[in-house]
A and B are shown apart, each in its own frame.
Chain A
Amino acid sequence: MDQPLISIRDVHKWYAGVHAVRGVSLDVKAAEVVGLVGDNGAGKSTLIKMLSGVHRTDSGEIRIAGELVEIASPKIAMRLGIETIYQDASMVPMMSIARNLFVGREPLRLRIGDIGIIDHERMRRESTQAIANVDLHLRSPDALLGELSGGQRQGVAIARAMHFKSRVLILDEPTNHLSVKETAKVLGFVRGLPAQGVTGILISHNLHHVVESCDRVVVMARGEIVFDRPVNETSIEEFQEYL
């Protein structure tokens, strides 16, 4: 049997006395797209935040490609090839698209330790490329991010994740605040992830979106996984009952 790319074993997380994630175990294969659904407070956001390095696990283990890892910070998650896209597109509105794409990972010309001079030319070039790669059409990488529409911002976030060669792309409610047309594009992109060899985890409130773009549905409730099945072996009516 194939070794899973992500292997979560008996992971727990407490927040100030609240047991948010209660012994979750989950395997995700390479180039599989998993839809993670659940009501508010079901623990799905907490679970993925432990994958993206925003929160640390209280107990349990996470393996990436068989290797036991301690995802103590977003930086470590990124090094492992885990990129996360949040619903608000987590970007800085008053900075240029290029600067947003590379914040925290700027290409440097001259450096002392972590600090150095940004290689602006390379940053612009790679930004243009990254944006073109996700088929996004923008005037210039120097435009301010705040001037873009919600869908365009989400596009830039996707371009960022893809540019840094992610193995795992986590999308946390990426279609909130988007128009119908923009939503369709984002979902189309999610559907295309396996073809690029990228593993996806899509968190969504919208069950139709999950059925439309994922290979597998995982339902969480009260901090536990209560349902887990391939999309083509189930129906919305079936897993809706677990929510």
Chain B
Amino acid sequence: MKIVGHTFAWTLRFILIIVSVFVEIATIHAQEKSKSPANDAIAQLYAGAKKEGTVVIWGPTDAIIYQKAQAVLDKQYPGIKIEHFESIPEPLVQRIIAESQAGKPSAVDIIQSGSLRALRPLIDRDMLSVYPGWEKNFGLDAVYAGDRFVGAYNLTLPISYNSKLVSAKDVPKSWEELTDPKWKGRKLIIEARLVPFAMLGTEWGKSKSTELVKKILTQEPIIAQGGTTVAKALAGGQVSIAVGTYAYTIEGLKKAGATVDWMPVTPLPVLTSAFGVLKTAPHPNAARFFAGWMGSTEGQKIRYETSGQAIEVGKNAIGNVADRLKASRPTIILETEKNFAAIFEIQRELGRLLGALR
């Protein structure tokens, strides 16, 4: 018994030594890491941001998200006040251009939009600053247009369905199945701007997606404006199938008790919401720091827990939409600066089917 007790004491001592060594190594590693050039750069950026004291952001994000972000920011990175103006980007972009042309640059640091394409006029006019630090220092991969944008969140555009009205085996597994006669007669709702079909056209070619839309229109679908209206119609049982609402919206409705779900069909269009910092930003350091922080896992978590929105593709992806995409592995058509001109051209063609003249 004595021998056993002795051995046990020595084993315990040995384990304690090993643990202490690991703790020491981890501490040294963490200290090393905190001294890394990336962290130094972030610390420097934060110091500049703190000096500026404020970040002014214009975009469509729900104000509640930034209220929660402010609370976390105050604890971890005090000294930066978020001033947020909630609006859709299109009028904001026009205002920024008009004010800039009048020689009175808008008092805004960050412009954000629900889709990257809406900010194209600012790229065309070279009004956004370049910041490689988002990728280099913050380690973010959702960076676009030559480091002019950093991803805020994604909007995945799947085929959604009302699980009370459609059994799992009947749910369309491909875009072409939307033309099945069983969906004829107000059983299908599509969003009027036809974005998913325009994005599919970048993969398939314009003529194939145009033909698909033409066929779908013969199904007498309901055509509604806005993803929320589409989701609402689906949750309320007005239609069985919906195209043009977002996967995160459907997840939110599911959580609230609605009998809805979505199908990660392939290829799957995914929009990119991004932050861009204006060249004329009054608080450039605060803007770059805040955009990087909101794009990081920490910022993502605040956004995701508040609204369900998150980066859904790439290495920084989080949340249940991202999990389902990882599991089902559809071919993703991600909106980037490389394809938004093509999306625009196809969308214009499709718009003519619904009454656009140009």
Do A and B make up one complex? no
